[in-house]
Structure formats: C-alpha cells, structure tokens
Amino acid sequence: MTVLTNRQSTAPAQQATAPRSFGAVVKAYVALTKPRVIELLLITTLPVMFLASGGLPPLWKALWVMVFGTLSAGSANALNCYIDRDIDVKMRRTRKRPLARHQVTPRNALIFGIVLGTLSVVGMWVTTNLLAAALNLSAILFYVFVYSMILKRRTSQNIVWGGLAGCMPVVIGWSGITGSLEWTPLVLFGVVFFWTPPHTWTLAMRYKEDYAAASIPMLPVVATERRVVVESIVYTWATVICSLLLWPVAGTTLLYPIVALALGVVCLWEIHRMLARVNAGKTGVDLRPMRFFHWSNAYLALLFLAVAIDPLLS
C-alpha cells in the first residue's frame, strides 16, 4: 500500500485532532465509510438475491453477503477518503468528512480501510464462495486504484468507467447465492452502469464550483450544460432500455416490466424537461438538476424493489 501513501506526498502535513469521546470516535470512523453511499449499494444487492433464488434467498447466506458487502463498500469508501483528503477540504460537500476535519489521522484511516477490506473478502470467501469473494476484492481494488487514483482527477469520463465499481454489488449478490454468473445479473449490472453517469452528473451540476475548485474534471466542469444534459439523456434512455431487457432474459412476470416502464417514463420525462429548460435559456439552479438527482435515487430503489417482489409472485 506504499503507492497510496506516496499519492498524497505533495499534500501539506496537518496534525489531526482526535475526537475526545468514544462516541465521537465511532461516529468519525463510521462517517469514513460513507453510510449513505453504502445504502445505495445494498438496495441493489438484496433484490438480486431474491431473483437468484427464485423467491426468498437462504437467510444466513443472504445475511453474510449483506454484512461483508457492507464492509467491502465501507473499505473502498474509507480508502477513497484517504486518497481524496487533499481535495475534500476544498469542497463544501465534503469538507465535513473526518479527514478533512482532522478527526481521524490519515494513517489510521488507511489502516481502517485495509482492515475492513480484508475482513470483507475473507468473510465472503468463508461464508459464501470464492467467486463472490473475488468479485468483492475486484470492486475494492477498482474503486481505489482505477477510479480514485487514476480516473477521477484525469478525465471527464471518470464516473462513466469508475462507476463500474458501483455495479459490482449486483453480480456479488447473484454469485453469493448461485456461485456463478449468468446473463440476468449482467443485465442488471448494465442498468446500474448506465444509470450512474446522469445520476452523478446532475449532482455535479449542483456542486460545479466545488469540483472546479478542487480541479476535478467532472463533465459539468469542463463541458457546457447542454452537453451534460444531452449525454445524460442518452444514458437515461440506455438505462430504461436495459431495464426492460430483464423481462425476457430473466423470464419475469408482468409486474416487473410494467413497473420498469412506468419508472422509466417518469425518469425520461424529468431529464427531457431539463433539456427543455436549457433550450429556454435557463442555467445553473434554474435547470433544477437536483430534482432529477433525487428522482434517480427513487428510480433505482423502486426498480430493484420490483426485482425482489417479482420472483415471489411466480
């Protein structure tokens, strides 16, 4: 892990101020794992296990996948906080993170992330199978080394390819139950892959100045608002089309495609409304990017809820 240490060699050394109470210490380390991001990852993991099982998944196996999947995501997020500590202090959205506030030392954050990752991979291997553990490990390594250390600071397509790590819970959940991979989880992998760019870009539109101040070339920083919205439309259409492919591939009941189509229509309506605002000459907050961002969260949660319920009806 010396590469990680050297990555921040140019950042000014700052003395961390540890929280005084035990509760504050625990809160700081939990915050390193980015719990709200983990929630988003887990809502794609559990439903896939229902689909893989054709109904209720084995309780203990599902529990272990969720537990060690949580540790895996927490590990990747903690290591991301370690790598990004120099830019987190420059952004309003991230300046309250534990490393930015010097509540945890960089060394302890690094150790914490490595320990969580090790526990998640070993635990997944012991309680489920080698394939799930290998996919778990690859998700951590990809997010840390490929996205956080290479893509994020170098290309406006950072989230497009870096988002692959966020797709991994789908295939981890499936393989944790079946010990194999098939087309069904790969279709859902595609849904999350296409969903990620417009979801993230609309958030980045809201915090454009933050990313610019931190020299992060997110698409809204380096491209016009029209281009961001148009590309978001393309990815949103791809998301909806890919979501409907699950019906013939997985042989779902009619519940799933009806829900997927209804959710997709609303999602497309919202993103096309943003284009209409661009065409009307509106800019910045008047484009209401956070409206689409919040809706995209609901879209993914409700879509995967349908994924979980559908096999219970067949």
pLDDT in tens, 175-219: 999 999 999 999 999 999 999 999 999 999 999 999 999 999 999
Tokens of 104: 């945890």
Which CATH number describes the domain made up of 182-314? 1.20.120
Query: What was the pLDDT predicted at 52?
Result: 96
Query: What was the pLDDT predicted at 4?
Result: 44
When pLDDT is averaged across residues 234-250 and rounded to a whole number, the result is 97
Segments making up each domain of the chain, as ranges: 25-155, 182-314
Q: In sequence order, what are the residues at sequence separation of 6 or more whose Cβ sits closer than 8 angstroms to the Cβ of residue 126?
A: none
User: Could you read off the pLDDT of 19-62 as tens digits, one per residue?
Assistant: 568 888 999 999 999 998 888 788 999 999 999 999 999 999 99
What is the share, in percent, of the chain residues with pLDDT greater than 70? 94
Give the Cβ contact number of residue 154 at 10 Å.
Answer: 11
When pLDDT is averaged across residues 123-137 and rounded to a whole number, the result is 97
pLDDT higher than 60, residue 126? yes
Query: What was the pLDDT predicted at 17?
Result: 52
Average pLDDT of the chain is: 91
Instruction: Identify whether the C-beta of residue 185 lies closer than 8 Å to the C-beta of residue 170.
Output: yes
Instruction: Identify whether the C-beta of residue 80 lies closer than 8 Å to the C-beta of residue 145.
Output: no
Tokens of 298: 């609901």
Distance CA 71, CA 254 (A): 35
Q: Using 50, 70 and 90 to split pLDDT, how confident is the model at 8?
A: very low
Query: What was the pLDDT predicted at 10?
Result: 40
Q: Is 37 exposed, middle or buried, given 0-12, 13-18 or 19+ CB atoms closer than 10 A? A: middle
pLDDT higher than 70, residue 245? yes
Amino acid sitting at position 77: N
What is the share, in percent, of the chain residues with pLDDT greater than 90? 84
Query: What was the pLDDT predicted at 40?
Result: 79
- Domain 25-155 coded CATH 1.10.357: yes
Query: What was the pLDDT predicted at 20?
Result: 65
Own/partner long-range contacts of 267-272 (Cβ < 8 Å, ≥24 apart): 267/236, 267/239, 267/240, 267/295, 267/296, 267/299, 268/233, 268/236, 268/237, 268/240, 270/295, 271/198, 271/229, 271/232, 271/233, 271/236, 272/233
Q: In sequence order, what are the residues at sequence separation of 6 or more whose Cβ sits closer than 8 angstroms to the Cβ of residue 148?
A: 79, 80, 83, 84, 162
Query: What was the pLDDT predicted at 15?
Result: 46
When pLDDT is averaged across residues 3-32 and rounded to a whole number, the result is 63
pLDDT higher than 60, residue 130? yes
Query: What was the pLDDT predicted at 9?
Result: 40
Q: In sequence order, what are the residues at sequence separation of 6 or more whose Cβ sits closer than 8 angstroms to the Cβ of residue 191?
A: 239, 242, 243, 246, 303
Q: Do domains 25-155 and 182-314 have the same CATH topology?
A: no
Q: Is 21 exposed, middle or buried, given 0-12, 13-18 or 19+ CB atoms closer than 10 A? A: exposed
pLDDT higher than 60, residue 265? yes
pLDDT higher than 80, residue 11? no
User: Could you read off the pLDDT of 140-172 as tens digits, one per residue?
Assistant: 999 999 999 999 999 999 999 999 999 999 999
Instruction: Identify whether the C-beta of residue 244 lies closer than 8 Å to the C-beta of residue 264.
Output: yes
Start-to-end CA distance of the chain, whole Å, equals 48
Range from 119-128, 192-201, 278-287 carrying the lowest mean pLDDT:
278-287
Amino acid sitting at position 270: E
